[in-house]
Chain A
Amino acid sequence: MDAIGAVLAKDLRLLWRQRTGWLSAFTFAAISVLTYAFAFDLVTDDVRPLLPGVLWVTFLFAGTIACSRSFSDEVEQGTFDALLLAPVPRTAIYFGKVLANCIALFSVEVAVMLLATILFNTPLLTVELALIAGVGTVGYVSLTTLLATLGARVQSREVLLPVLALPLLVPLLIAGVRATGAALDLPQGDAPWLMLLAVFTVWSALGGALLFPLAVER
């Protein structure tokens, strides 16, 4: 556990000092939401049915921008090898990085939900929506952190991550959008979307933990 804490604390400190990755992600997210707000304003009075899609597409691409740097910076500075040399289970390194990315991405998501609340005049910063976003974020980050590891040593990694991640994230996106719609009192059928989102998240985290040691093998 201390190894997870060490990696988490170090990554949060680096994220704060570097900032460019997460500021880029937030800037992208803010511009997206702003653009949607102006576009929908001309088309419809009731934007609520559109909001789940707006939020999750924004979360997805903002996260992709941010998570792609998770391991590539380590590889470029040679510190990835230093992490792998440490006498700790490699899953501890993985979970430390996943937690750091989750905290950072969730912060961006909360800011996006606050901005969307203002722009769309719909209360989006609720406990239920925060829970849905939080669960989805853990699943999303678990998968993208693993895939970022696979692509970290590849030159065209910025292209590789979305190509690998997006098809695998379709179930999470569907469950996330539907669960968000249900939280906004939109008709979504009887399926337990939040439960499905949680199942995907658990699968994603377990799969990431099991595959990470193999992904870093050379």
Chain B
Amino acid sequence: MTPNAAIEANNLTKKYGGSLVLDGVAFALPPGSKTALTGANGAGKSTLLHVLATLVSPTSGTATIAGYSITEALPALRGTIGMLTHSPMVYEELSPLENLRFFARLYGVPNPDARIEALLRAVGLWQRRDELTGLLSRGTHQRLAIARALVHTPSVLLLDEPETGLDSDGIAVLDALMLRAPHLTVLAATHLLARIDAWADSRLHLARGRVAAEASPVMVR
């Protein structure tokens, strides 16, 4: 085990039927690091993020997030994770305000109204907080998803193509609140290689389910 690693994976393997999607993935990311997870389609990026987020069980191997094992202490672990994917994971029949109130209640956020107002203002949705989410544009959904992923003040962000649907202003919001936010540990799968230098301090490259290349300060074992 690597001392003080915010995210650590040890020999993570995931099989779907006979297909080996993750094949002995091992790495450790220090707290506050911003790591770009790259690789071709089908390389295992999304599966790795889903395994780390406890949405998919690993076939073998272990991982820890903020010191919590992904197979134990699950509620405590989930409270430290914020996840954003290309699917916004918000309710279209609820307004942005109602969506965030629901998730804040589910996460037991103290003083939720102040937190929600701050987030909706930060993502530029405060003026539209009472409109039905289903009536908003795709990019607006993703802005709301950014707020949803941050509502419980997580310390680790797992992002799967977070730029999906965002315009340049939206990407600026994403950068400010997530990718360049100090103190947050970020592991973000992306195909936008030209943008990596703008936010990432390290890169983890997957090929056919294995770690193929890395750059400091990612510690691959």
A residues in contact (CB < 8 Å) with B: 2-3, 5-7, 9-10, 13-14, 17-18, 77-79, 81-89, 217-218
Contacts and interface: CB of A to CB of B under 8 A. Distances in A.
Contact of B75 (A13, A89, A218): A89
Contacts of B74: 87
Contact of B106 (A77, A78, A86, A217): A86
Contacts of A9: 102
B106 A6 contact: yes
B79 interface: yes
Interface of B: 50, 53-57, 74-79, 81, 83, 85, 87-94, 98, 102-103, 105-108, 148, 152
A13 B105 contact: no
A78 B107 contact: no
User: Residue among A9, A83, A85 with the most chain B CB within 10 A?
Assistant: A85
B55 A79 contact: no
Contacts of A218: 50, 55-57
A10 B88 contact: no
A7 B103 CA distance: 10
A82 B103 contact: yes
A87 B79 contact: yes
A2 B103 CA distance: 12
B108 to A, nearest CB: 7
A87 B75 contact: yes
A85 B107 CA distance: 10
Those 9 A-B pairs whose CB atoms lie nearest each other, nearest first:
A78-B87, A82-B89, A87-B79, A87-B75, A87-B78, A6-B105, A17-B93, A86-B106, A78-B89
B217 to A, nearest CB: 27
A89 B74 CA distance: 9
Nearest to A89: B75
Contacts of A6: 102, 105-106
A14 B102 CA distance: 12
A217 B78 contact: no
A77 B91 contact: yes
Given A6-B102, A14-B94, A81 B75 contact: no
A197 to B, nearest CB: 33
Contacts of B54: 84-85
A89 to B, nearest CB: 7
Nearest to B85: A78
A88 B76 CA distance: 9
A6 B91 CA distance: 14
A17 B92 CA distance: 10
Contacts of B108: 2, 87
Contacts of A84: 54-55
